Amino acid sequence: MNFSELPPILGEALAERGYDTPTEVQSAVIAPEASGRDLVVSAQTGSGKTVAFGLAMAEQMLAADGKVPFGVAPLALVIAPTRELALQVSRELIWLYGKAGARIATCVGGMDASKERRNLRGGAQIVVGTPGRLRDHLERGALDLSALKVAVLDEADEMLDMGFREDLEEILDATPEGRRTLLFSATMPKPIVALAKRYQQDALRISTVGDTRGHGDIEYQAVTIAPSEIESAVVNLLRFHEAETAILFCATRDAVRRLHATLQERGFAVVALSGEHSQSERNQAMQALRDRRARVCVATDVAARGIDLPSLSLVIHVEVPRDAETLQHRSGRTGRAGKKGTAVILVPFPRRRRVEAMLRGAKIEARWTDAPSPKDIRKQDRERLLETLLAPVEIEDEDRALAKTLMEQKSAEDIAAMLVQAHRSKMPQPEELMENTPEARKAAQKEKHRPGFEDTVWFRMDIGRRHNADPRWILPLICRRGHVTRNEIGAIRIGGEETFFQIPSAIAAKVEDAIERTFASEDQERPVFIERSAEGPRMQARENRKGGRHEGRHDGGRKPFAGKPRRDNAAGRAERSERPGKRERDADAPRGERKAFKPKGAKPGGKPFKPGNKKSAHRKGGPRKPG
């Protein structure tokens, strides 16, 4: 399949943008077997997905004359997880459907909502937006989906991960029955499959991911460093590659803020993107990168979604990605549209095994190396400078006259040396790094605590991953209950049923007293039980594996804060051992009050139990008889 078989008006737009042959995903969605059908598409980030679904919905958008018919209600709806991605999709669809006369309205958080409502009332045929803002317009009556012909969910897996399920369901429930649904997702977890079954009919499954997760156009490098030298390694990597545009990924807003300030102080042209920045600040940062006024962007994972910069050739994972999918999405910002890119993962010595396992799981082959040294950087500088100076240029007469004057006063060698010095003075100086030796790695293993946390006390909370425990709300909870700041909290270890956190020994008594006072001042029952723990998380995990701790279950799973304080484990076991069993209770009861035995899974009103029933066959030892 090629672009020549598309409507001429779209073919012209693609030719003007330099598109001559379609990518694999673009060929798949415009193939005859995909015509008019619901689609579930898995494709790599940067494989041309935006143009792909733009072409896929042309059948529903264009009239016989090749134009988009005017209407008050939109014909197509595109939902994206973040503001940046929604704005990027809008820009792509504007040039793709510009000649067809399509009007496109963008609805994202942080922008003027009243202006968006005016654009919707003005008759936009294509609406692009984020789930929260689209739902708001829908509930206010500004977004009319009654005439919708096609709905597109871009990066659906990310939208579900970000908690937009309810928003998506409300929006899709408001669309007509006969509309076409195109679902694009880099991965296909169970929630995506469930969403597709609910809102799609006879969907065609398209996958262009292949056996390898990483792009063929991306070179992966794993750079081992000491944990204390991460920022210095970032400086040296930026100086070594001298990329036209680079993006640095951090896990938190604080890390973005700190690294952005460090690089600014070192003389890099750098901008920042995180959740604490307004939409106006984000737009200004992106424009600075496009105008080449800035060459480096420090960002969090979510803020960087949808960034598409043609000049982006270097991605640095300053903090190790939490999983292979995050690694894929981060790295996919480069190596797009057939261009080459480099993705560098900074790997502290103690975390090498985890990164190796992640790369194996993602089927990515990375080249393991050390961070560039000042000697390596100076060698690269020499090669780049010679390449720049020896390139052919047109020299004006005024410049030649100035050069002649300089030659009369200085030798050619002195003039060349001053030129090199002037060139180097504009660039940040590289950092001296610790050598990657066994001694250095051993010393790094001992660097487990930041200054002030050499002597700590563990505290325990009776909530864990099964109660949706997350550092984003656990950290403020500890600060509020213990009357401490986040800088006074050490490591946080979240387990299945409980969470441990560190407090410096010097203030442990004060924190413990504050927790008790906070509990005493509350009228309601304490929602989360916090106590000083004599054992750390490792010791407790070891006891749990031995069966030393009874794993209590969450109170109904109603809310993260619904758990009650556990009673003493030994007392609980003793009490349970004294309770009569079910059969004993039935045997002691009067004959008329005994309860008939029911196998696990039996339903009221179902068939009576018979020996050999399949519902009891899963029990070891074969079927059981009624007691």
- The predicted-structure confidence for 308-321, as pLDDT tens digits, reads as follows 787 889 999 999 98
200: Cα separation from own chain's centroid: 26
Mean residue pLDDT across the chain: 79
Cβ neighbours, 10 Å, residue 351: 15
The model's pLDDT over 167-186, given as tens digits with 9 standing for 90+, comes to 999 999 999 988 999 998 87
Q: Is the pLDDT reported for residue 485 higher than 90? A: no
pLDDT tier, 192 (very low <50, low <70, confident <90, very high otherwise): confident
Q: Judge whether residue 253 has pLDDT over 60.
A: yes
For residue 301, the model assigns a pLDDT of 79
In one-letter notation, the amino acid at residue 335 is G
Higher pLDDT: 563 or 607? It is 607
CB distance 164 to 81 below 8 Å = yes
Q: Residue with structure tokens 């595109």?
A: 78
Alpha carbon distance 194, 159 (integer Å): 14
Indicate the SS3 state at residue 259. Answer: helix
Domain 3-207 falls in which CATH fold?
Answer: Rossmann fold (3.40.50)
Q: In CATH, what number does 456-569 get? A: 3.30.70.330
Tally of CB atoms within 10 A around 283: 16
Q: Give the pLDDT confidence score for residue 6 in this predicted structure.
A: 82
Q: Which residue has the higher pLDDT, 538 or 185?
A: 185
Q: 28-32 long-range contacts, Cβ below 8 Å, gap at least 24? A: 28/52, 28/206, 28/208, 29/53, 29/55, 29/56, 29/182, 29/206, 30/1, 30/5, 30/6, 30/55, 30/56, 31/1
* 133 contact partners, CB below 8 Å, separation of at least 6: 107, 108, 109, 113, 116
Lowest average pLDDT, out of 280-294, 354-368, 376-390, 520-534, goes to 520-534
Q: What is the DSSP string of 322-348?
A: SSHHHHHHHHTTSS-TT--EEEEEEEE
Region 117-132 average pLDDT: 92
Count of beta carbons in the 10 Å neighbourhood of residue 595: 10
Q: Taking the domains of the chain in order of start, what are their residue ranges?
A: 3-207, 218-373, 456-569
> Which of the four CATH numbers 3.20.20.80, 3.40.50.300, 3.80.30.20, 3.30.565.10 does domain 218-373 have?
3.40.50.300
| Amino acid 541: pLDDT | 57
The predicted model gives 621-625 an average pLDDT of 46
Helical spans, DSSP H, in 201-269: 230-241, 253-266
DSSP 12-29: HHHHHTT--S--HHHHHH
**Matching CATH topology for 3-207 and 456-569?**
no
At a CB cut-off of 8 Å and minimum separation 6, what does 198 contact?
none
Residue 408 predicted with pLDDT over 70: yes
Q: What is the pLDDT of residue 573?
A: 47
Segment 39-56 shows an average pLDDT of: 84
Mean pLDDT, rounded, for 242-251: 91
Residue 34: pLDDT over 50: yes
Report residue 446: phi and psi, to 5°: -80, -15
Phi, psi of 190, rounded to the nearest 5 degrees: -60, -40
Phi, psi torsion values for 393, nearest 5 degrees: -140, 160
Q: Tell me, what's the pLDDT at 330?
A: 84
pLDDT above 70 covers what percent of the chain? 78
pLDDT at 236: 93
Kindly state the average pLDDT of the residues 408-428. 83
Does the structure show a pLDDT above 90 at 518?
A: no
Instruction: Give Cβ neighbours of residue 289 (< 8 Å, ≥ 6 apart).
Output: 245, 271, 295, 297, 309
Alpha carbon distance 328, 324 (integer Å): 6
- DSSP states of 83-115 as a string? HHHHHHHHHHHHHHHTTTT--EEEE-TTS-HHH
Instruction: Return the residue matching tokens 């952005």.
Output: 260
Q: Which pLDDT score is estimated for 466?
A: 82
At 626, the pLDDT band (50, 70, 90 cuts) reads: very low
Q: Which two tokens stand for residue 245?
A: 């545009």
Strands 270-273, 76-79: parallel, antiparallel or unpaired by DSSP?
unpaired
Q: Using pLDDT thresholds of 50, 70 and 90, give the confidence band for residue 45.
A: low
Q: What does the angle CA 432 – CA 437 – CA 443 come to, to the nearest 5 degrees?
A: 85
Type of residue at 136: D
Give the pLDDT band of residue 495 (cuts 50, 70, 90): confident
Whether the CB-CB separation of 152 and 79 falls below 8 Å is answered with yes
Sequence-separated (6 or more) residues with CB below 8 Å from residue 380: 240, 242, 372
The answer to whether the CB of 105 falls within 8 A of the CB of 116 is yes
Burial profile 288-308: b = 16 or more Cβ within 10 angstroms, e = fewer: bbeeeebbbbbbbbbbbbbbb
| pLDDT of 418 above 50 | yes
CA dist., res. 471 & res. 479, Å (int): 12
Radius of gyration of the chain (CA): 31
Compute the average pLDDT of residues 99-113: 90
Residue 26 has pLDDT above 70, yes or no: yes
Q: Output helix, strand, coil percentages for the chain, rounded to the nearest 5.
A: 45, 15, 40
Contact yes or no for 247/305 (Cβ under 8 A): no
For the chain, the first-to-last Cα distance in angstroms comes to 69
Residue pLDDT, tens place only, 71-89: 889 999 999 988 888 888 9
Tell whether the model's pLDDT for residue 624 goes beyond 50.
no
Quote the percentage of the chain above a pLDDT of 90: 25
Taking the CA atoms of 241, 247, 251 and 257 in sequence, report the sign of the dihedral they define. Answer: positive
- Sequential DSSP letters for 539-562: HHHHHHHHT-S--PPPSTTS-TT-
Average pLDDT on 431-446 reads: 70
Alpha-carbon distance values, 497 to 56, 347, 500, 535, 543 (Å): 47, 30, 10, 15, 13
Q: What is the mean pLDDT of residues 242-255?
A: 90
| pLDDT(260) > 90 | yes
Q: State the pLDDT at residue 343.
A: 93
Q: What is the DSSP code (8-state) at residue 613?
A: -
